[in-house]
């Protein structure tokens, strides 16, 4: 049983535990997503790093923005890990992947990679081989950024399908979606005394499945646009992008 995290520290601790469990199970491409509104990626990423401390200088951390990478080098000066930028709009645009993935690298962490860098992220993952690659708070599913053509969709689907979501926390309206490996996906409802578990799913629930879960919880046989779920629809559709 997984307790619902009541603080960001709780969520990060769960993400670290889920990462350890997934790596121990043999997964090498992982995703950690703490989708709390207004949450900046760098502070939680820094807290999360403790779970990868054993890799030392052999852990390479990628930022998609050269400025963010420079800021991390300054503010994270005490860490032993290597920090790089894959800013494709800047000096890294023509740098070959072989320069970014070295034989001595043992693990890789991407901080908030976006859909703009999805092709380069995929190339780095391929070059990494069986070495662990973790995407922390990625934004790779923003189809609007990379275009909606067949090629872009195929690339996104092919690449994302190889990544195991070991931790996922997304608040909804009066509800939340949680996954903490090795446990199932969980749908929680917000109550006055806290969150209550509504359902557990083997796969990430679709919009339609979420509608069914909330309908059952409220005793509604067929959710429609006029039911209490209408207020959730706009938010939940973000899960299906």
Cβ contacts of 38 within 8 Å, gap of 6 or more: none
* DSSP code of residue 100: H
Rounded CA separation 62/192 (Å): 41
Tell whether the torsion through CA atoms of 220, 223, 229 and 230 is positive or negative: negative
> pTM of the prediction?
0.85
> Cα dihedral sign for 92, 93, 99, 105?
positive
Sequence-ordered alpha helix ranges (H) in the chain: 8-24, 42-48, 66-75, 97-100, 118-128, 143-146, 150-160, 207-218, 230-236
What end-to-end distance do the CA atoms of the chain give, in Å?
29
For residue 206, the model assigns a pLDDT of 87
Note the pLDDT of residue 141. 61
CB atoms within 10 A of CB 133: 25
How does pLDDT run across 119-129, given as a tens digit for each residue? Answer: 889 999 999 99
Distance in angstroms (rounded) separating the CA atoms of residues 42 and 49: 11
Quickly list DSSP for 137-177.
S-BTT-HHHH-SSHHHHHHHHHHHTT-EEEEEEEEETTEEE
Q: State residue 86's pLDDT score.
A: 87
Structure tokens at 166: 């070991």
Q: Which segments in the chain show pLDDT lower than 70?
A: 88-95, 141-153, 155-156, 220-241
Q: For 30-77, how does the pLDDT look when each residue is reduced to its tens digit (9 = 90+)?
A: 999 999 988 999 999 999 999 999 999 999 999 988 899 999 999 998
Burial of 214 (0-12, 13-18, 19+ CB in 10 A): buried
How many residues make up the chain in this entry?
Answer: 241
Q: How far is CA 105 from the centre of its chain?
A: 22
Which residue ranges make up each domain of the chain?
8-168, 173-240
Structure tokens given for 75: 């503010």
CATH of span 8-168: 3.40.50
- 227 burial (CB, 10 Å; 0-12 / 13-18 / 19+) is middle
In whole angstroms, how far apart are CA 104 and each of 35, 100, 124, 153?
Answer: 32, 11, 14, 33
């Amino acid at each position: 049983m997984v307790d619902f995290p009541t603080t960001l520290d709780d969520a990060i601790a769960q993400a670290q535990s889920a990462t350890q469990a997934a790596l121990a199970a043999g997964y090498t491409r992982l995703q950690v997503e703490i989708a709390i509104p207004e949450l900046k990626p760098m502070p939680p990423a820094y807290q999360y790093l403790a779970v990868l401390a054993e890799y030392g200088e052999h852990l390479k951390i990628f930022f998609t923005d050269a400025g963010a990478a420079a800021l991390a080098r300054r503010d994270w000066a005490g860490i032993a890990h290597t920090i790089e930028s894959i800013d494709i709009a800047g000096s890294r645009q023509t740098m070959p992947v072989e320069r970014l993935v070295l034989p001595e690298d043992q693990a890789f962490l991407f901080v908030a990679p976006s859909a703009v860098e999805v092709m380069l992220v995929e190339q780095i993952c391929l070059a990494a081989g069986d070495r662990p690659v973790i995407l922390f708070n990625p934004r790779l599913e923003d189809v609007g950024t990379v275009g909606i053509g067949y090629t872009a969709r195929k690339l996104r689907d092919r690449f994302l399908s190889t990544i195991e979501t070991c931790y996922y926390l997304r608040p909804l309206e009066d509800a939340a979606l949680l996954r903490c490996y090795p446990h199932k996906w969980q749908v929680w409802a917000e109550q006055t005394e806290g969150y209550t578990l509504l359902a557990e799913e083997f796969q990430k629930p679709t919009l339609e499945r979420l509608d069914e879960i909330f309908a059952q919880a409220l005793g509604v046989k067929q959710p429609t646009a006029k039911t209490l779920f209408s207020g959730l629809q706009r938010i939940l559709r973000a899960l299906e992008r």
